[in-house]
């Protein structure tokens, strides 16, 4: 029998947005953009020929039709999850899929995987590195380890938060070129606007959130340093080592700091950010993935 149902993607997006009454939180939970959430909701409303949300300036509310659909989708998704849990073998040995950028995989995940692999040589671990791509779908992996703004308490789907303050680093030779001694460790945020330093590029990602301005902390005064966009964190780190500018570092760069390849002369740190081990709500997770997740949590 052919069913004339909306797409599963649209229903999943609707359930998340309706449950949280927020397109932004739905985008975070599903690891897609807010625009993608709006598109799926609009497509669903067009297919049903009715409004599911009432939109105000700062919030969305469910219409009567939206409330009915939310109850139905939650009931159906819960039932589908229970069925999948029942038919999936408890000792399933399929591969474990982990989402992590190459930066996190090399600097944090890989050293912890070696011990797990020694104990569980039968488990194959596959890494998905495109976790920051708009096409990445959290439901396609068993869990992810991703940089996030942290809330100080676990969000829905967050199994563990790893707070890591951000701080500027650069090559010691770069400071020496501008007559700043590389051993100096008492710079304040305001020093980055000194005439000698203001021309040094700030290496960053292409994202709406200006982390450099947040680190600087003086919203009334914009940082005049030029920004240089480098998407890959590993490439940004190497660019900083090569003297191309400042980059915001975290504790995962300790090796470069210990070796002297990079220096961190500024006292100020930007708190409230770090990494989170996150899973998609409702996804069936096999025993091997559960074991790996617990191993990582235990070995933080």
193-209 pLDDT, tens digit each? 888 888 899 999 988 88
DSSP reduced 3-state for 157: coil
Asked if residue 31 and residue 81 are part of one domain, the reply reads: yes
Got the DSSP string for 77-89? HHHHHHHHHHHS-
Q: Give residue 258's pLDDT band: very low, low, confident or very high (50, 70, 90).
A: very high
Please tell me the pTM assigned to this model: 0.66
Q: Is residue 153 part of a domain?
A: no
Provide φ and ψ at 236, rounded to 5°: -60, -40
With CA atoms as reference, report the closest residue to 17 among 51, 60, 64, 71.
Answer: 60
Highest mean pLDDT out of 30-34, 216-220, 240-244: 240-244
- Which range, of 105-109, 142-146, 169-173, 191-195, averages the lowest pLDDT? 191-195
Is position 1 within any domain? no
Q: What CATH number is associated with residue 126?
A: 3.40.190.290
Q: Tell whether the model's pLDDT for residue 181 goes beyond 80.
A: no
Report the alpha-carbon distance of residue 193 to residue 212 in Å, rounded: 12
Q: Is the pLDDT of residue 218 over 60?
A: yes
Looking at the structure, tell me whether residues 204 and 235 fall in a common domain. yes
Note whether 143 and 285 are same-domain residues.
Answer: yes
Task: Read off the CATH number of the domain in which 209 is found.
Answer: 3.40.190.10
Q: What is the pLDDT of residue 228?
A: 94
Range of the domain at 173: 167-270
Say if CB 178 and CB 194 are below 8 A apart.
Answer: no
Cβ(113)–Cβ(69) under 8 Å? no
Nearest Cα to Cα of residue 168 among 237, 243, 247: 247
- Residue 152 within a domain: no
Question: Quick one: which of 195, 199, 188 has its CA closest to 268?
Answer: 188
Burial of 199 (0-12, 13-18, 19+ CB in 10 A): exposed
Mean local confidence (pLDDT), 102-109: 91
pLDDT at 1 over 50: no
| 109 and 188 both lie in a single domain | no
Q: Is residue 161 part of a domain?
A: no
Question: Which position has the higher pLDDT, 148 or 252?
Answer: 252
Q: Quick check: 250 and 164 in contact, CB under 8 A? A: yes
3-class secondary structure, 136 = coil
Residue 193 and residue 132 share a domain: no
Q: Is residue 246 part of a domain?
A: yes
* Proportion of the chain above pLDDT 70, given as a percent: 89
| pLDDT exceeds cutoff 80 at 295 | yes
Bridge pairing between strands 96-100 and 125-128 = parallel
Output the CA–CA distances (angstroms, integers) from residue 86 to 16, 83, 284, in the order listed. 24, 5, 10
Chain-centroid distance of CA 158 in Å reads 11
For residues 167 and 39, is the Cβ–Cβ distance under 8 A? Answer: no
Q: Please check whether residues 142 and 201 belong to one and the same domain.
A: no
Residue 101, number of CB atoms within 10 A of its CB: 23
CATH of the domain at 60: 1.10.10.10
Using an 8 Å Cβ cutoff, are 86 and 78 in contact?
Answer: no
Kind and range of the H or E run holding 204: strand 202-204
Our count of domains for the chain comes to: 3
Q: Identify the H or E element spanning 122.
A: none
What average pLDDT does the segment 87-106 reach?
Answer: 77
> What is the model's pLDDT at position 85?
62
Would you say residue 256 lies in a domain? yes
Q: How big is the CA angle at 295 (ends 273 and 154), to the nearest 5 degrees?
A: 35
* Most distant CA atoms of the chain, gap in Å: 77
CA-to-CA distance for 117 and 123, rounded, in angstroms? 7
Residue 71 neighbours by CB under 8 Å, 6+ apart: none
Across 81-108, average pLDDT: 76
Any domain includes 48: yes
Strand order in the sheet with 167-169: 167-169, 246-249, 202-204, 227-229
Crossing angle for the helix pair 110-119 and 287-298, to the nearest 10 degrees: 130
R_g over Cα of the chain:
23
34-38, 153-157, 164-168, 188-192: least confident range: 153-157
pLDDT at 119 over 50: yes
Within a domain: 155: no
Instruction: Answer yes or no: do 261 and 290 share one domain.
Output: no
């Amino acid at each position: 029998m052919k069913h004339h149902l909306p797409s599963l993607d649209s229903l999943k997006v609707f359930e998340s947005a309706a449950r949280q009454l927020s397109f932004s939180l739905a985008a975070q939970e599903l690891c897609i953009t807010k625009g993608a959430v709006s598109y799926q909701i609009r497509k669903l409303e067009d297919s049903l020929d009715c409004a599911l949300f009432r939109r105000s300036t700062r919030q969305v509310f469910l219409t009567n039709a939206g409330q009915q659909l939310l109850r139905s989708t939650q009931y159906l998704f819960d039932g589908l999850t229970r069925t999948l849990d029942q038919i999936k073998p408890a000792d399933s040995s399929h591969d474990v899929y982990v989402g992590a950028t190459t930066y996190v995989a090399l600097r944090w995940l890989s050293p912890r995987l070696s011990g797990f692999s020694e104990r569980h040589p039968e488990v194959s671990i596959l890494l998905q590195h495109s976790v920051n791509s708009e096409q990445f779908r959290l439901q396609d992996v068993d869990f992810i380890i991703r940089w996030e703004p942290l809330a100080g308490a676990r969000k829905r789907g967050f199994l563990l938060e790893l707070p890591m303050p951000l701080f500027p680093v650069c090559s010691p030779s770069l400071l020496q070129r501008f007559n700043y001694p590389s051993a100096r460790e008492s710079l304040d945020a305001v020093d980055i606007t000194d005439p000698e330093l203001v021309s040094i590029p700030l290496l960053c990602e292409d994202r709406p959130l200006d982390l450099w301005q947040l680190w600087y902390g003086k919203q009334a005064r914009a940082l005049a340093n030029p920004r240089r966009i480098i998407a890959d964190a590993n490439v940004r780190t190497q660019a900083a080592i090569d003297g191309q500018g400042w980059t915001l570092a975290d504790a995962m760069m300790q090796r470069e700091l210990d070796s002297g390849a990079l220096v961190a002369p500024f006292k100020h740190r930007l708190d409230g950010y770090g990494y989170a081990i996150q899973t998609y709500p409702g996804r069936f997770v096999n025993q091997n993935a559960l074991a790996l997740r617990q191993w990582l949590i235990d070995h933080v």
